[in-house]
Amino acid sequence: MEYGQVAGVEKPISRLVQGTIMIDEGDLPGSFALLDAVFAQGCTAFDTARHYGRGNEATVGRWVRERGLGDRVVVIGKGAHYGPEGDRVTPAAIAADLDESLTQIGLDAIDLYLLHRDDPAVEVGPIVEALHGHLRAGKLRAYGGSNWTVERIAAANAYARANGLTPFVASSPQFSLAEQVEAPWPGCVSIGGPVGAASRNWYRRERMPVFAWSSLAGGFLTGRYDRESLEVLADPAAERTRRAYGTDANFERLDRAGTLAAERGLTVSQIALAYVLAQPLDLFALVGSESGEEFAANAAAVEVRLTQDELDWLDLLRETR
C-alpha cells in the first residue's frame, strides 16, 4: 500500500480508501470482520456519510474505538446531502449533520469532513464561515467538498484566503477509466473523460488531493457486466451503471482493459485502478470491497505500473501501444 497526506490530518492516508455503504449495524460480526480484513491489508482510510444509513457511521466508529485505532485510522465523513425538501447546503444543515455524525461515530472529531453535495445558489461565504467555525471548535480536522465543481471550490478558497479562514483542502468528484456520461444520482460531479480535462488540470496545478468516488465506474470496470448483460439486467444498480457508463466508447475501454489484464496476468479491476492511480494528481481511489480478498486484489493495483502509451491506449487516445 502507498500513502498520502491531507493538510490538517496528521495520519497517513492509504491511496485506496474503503467505502462503507455496505456496512450494516444489523450484522456487527460481519461488518467488523470486513473492516478488520481491509485494515490488515494496509487501508487506513474509511469513507462514511450521514446519508448512507444502516448504522454505517455508528458501526465504523464503534470498530475504531473497540480496536483502539483512533490514532491510525482516518475517518472521512460527509454531510449536507439533499433530502426530500431539496438541497441542504446551509450552515444550519451542515451543523445538524455534523453533530449527528459525531454522535453516531462517537469520536472527538472527524478527520476529513466533506460536503456531500453543493448548491450553487448558495454563496460560498457562509459555507466557509460555518466549516471554519466547526474546525476551530475541534469537531473536524480538515474539510472539503464532494461533488463540487472546481469553480465553486476556487471561489470558496478565494473567500477563505481573503478572510483569513481555512480553505477546502480536498475534493471528492467521480473519476474512473470509464467516462461518466450521465449522473447516476442528482448533483454528481465527474472529472473523467475529455470534458473533465480542465478540472483535472486545475487539481494538478493546485495540488489538491482528489478522493475519486466510483473509481471502478459502479462495477462497470470489474468484469461484472458485458454489453449483453448490462442491457437486460433490471436491478437498480445495473440500471444506474448502464445510464452512467454504458456507451460504446466505454465498452471499448473495458475491452482494452481486459486485453491488457490478460497479457499482464491481472484483473480488469486492477488495470482500471492502476489507470486511476497513474494520473498526475494527488489521487486517492475509493473502492467498495465486499471482502478482505476483494480489497487485497484491489490493493495489488497500487503496485501496477502502466506506461504512458498504455494509459493513452486504454483511454482511446491512440490505437496502438
Q: What was the pLDDT predicted at 229?
A: 76
CA distances to 181, 268, 294 from 265, rounded to whole Å, are 30, 10, 16
Q: In sequence order, what DSSP letters do the residues of 129-183 get, joined into one string?
A: HHHHHHHHTTSBS-EEEES--HHHHHHHHHHHHHTT-PPP--EE-B--SS---S-
C-alpha angle 23-184-31 in degrees, rounded to nearest 5: 5
Q: What was the pLDDT predicted at 99?
A: 96
Chunked mean pLDDT (size 10), the chain, 321 residues: 98 97 91 97 94 82 96 96 84 96 95 97 97 98 98 99 98 98 95 97 98 96 83 78 94 97 97 98 97 96 97 95 85
Give the phi and the psi of residue 215 in degrees, each rounded to 5. Answer: -70, -15
Across the chain, what does the average pLDDT equal?
95
Amino acid at 320: T
What domains sit in the chain, N to C, each tagged with a CATH number? 3-218+280-307 (3.20.20.100)
Crossing angle of helices 292-299 and 268-277, rounded to 10°: 50
Give the phi and the psi of residue 50 in degrees, each rounded to 5. Answer: -60, -30
CA distances to 16, 130, 179, 227, 300 from 295, rounded to whole Å, are 9, 36, 23, 26, 9
Q: In sequence order, what DSSP letters do the residues of 202-230 get, joined into one string?
A: HHHHHT--EEEBTTTGGGGGGTS--HHHH
Counting beta carbons within 10 angstroms of the beta carbon of residue 245, is it exposed (0 to 12), middle (13 to 18) or buried (19 or more)? buried
Q: What was the pLDDT predicted at 287?
A: 97
Q: What was the pLDDT predicted at 230?
A: 74
211 contacts: CB under 8 Å, gap ≥ 6:
17, 47, 76, 114, 146, 170, 171, 172, 284, 286
The predicted model scores a pTM of: 0.95
Which of 106, 105, 127 lies closest to 116 in space, CA to CA?
Answer: 127
CB 218 within 8 A of CB 179: no
CB 159 within 8 A of CB 165: yes
